[in-house]
Structure 1
Amino acid sequence: MEFSKIFIVLGIAFLVIGFVMQFIGKLPGDIVIKKGNTTFYFPIVTSIVASIVLSLIFYFIGKFK
């Protein structure tokens, strides 16, 4: 698979993930700490889900290469 096709697939994947995240918001398990006028947000579950999705994408790209 050409390098440009990989970028196209990754771009589409990020587009779909971003579109879905707009409607989901934060996932259960993401850490939010609010103190006064400061908010700390650590998206641990979102990071794990994104990692799994990207791992699957790269696995299939490598398998059909």
Structure 2
Amino acid sequence: MSANLFERHLLAGILIVLVMAGVILVVVKLLGFGLGRLPGDIVLRGRGWTFYFPVATCLLLSLLLTVVINFLARWWR
């Protein structure tokens, strides 16, 4: 496979993953799941500012992505 064709496939794959992630986030938001409001997420509010750091949400998404990527890697072998 030439480098140009590989780059096109890589770009298409990244685009598909980003679109799927966006659709999943919209669906999760519409269904009202508490993603982003988990215990362990840090929210600091002051006068005119809010700082939000989703620690628990990041850990959960990291775990889910690790499982999915490992499953796909084993499936493609």
The normalised TM-score by structure 1 is 0.71
Describe the SS at the equivalent of 1:32: strand
Equivalences for 1:23-38 in 2 at 5 Å? 23=32, 24=34, 25-38=36-49
The normalised TM-score by structure 2 is 0.62
Q: Does 1:61 align with 2:72?
A: yes
* % identity of equivalent residues: 32
Gaps of 5+ in 1: none
By how many angstroms is 1:54 displaced? 0.5
Equivalences for 1:5-20 in 2 at 5 Å? 8=16, 10=17, 11-12=19-20, 14=21, 15-16=23-24, 18=25, 19-20=27-28
Alignment partner, residue 55 of structure 2: 44
By how many angstroms is 1:58 displaced? 0.4
Gaps of 5+ in 2: 1-8
Pick closer, same or farther for the CA change 1:39–1:5 going to 2, 3 Å. closer
Larger radius of gyration: 2
Between Structure 1 and Structure 2, how many residues are aligned? 60
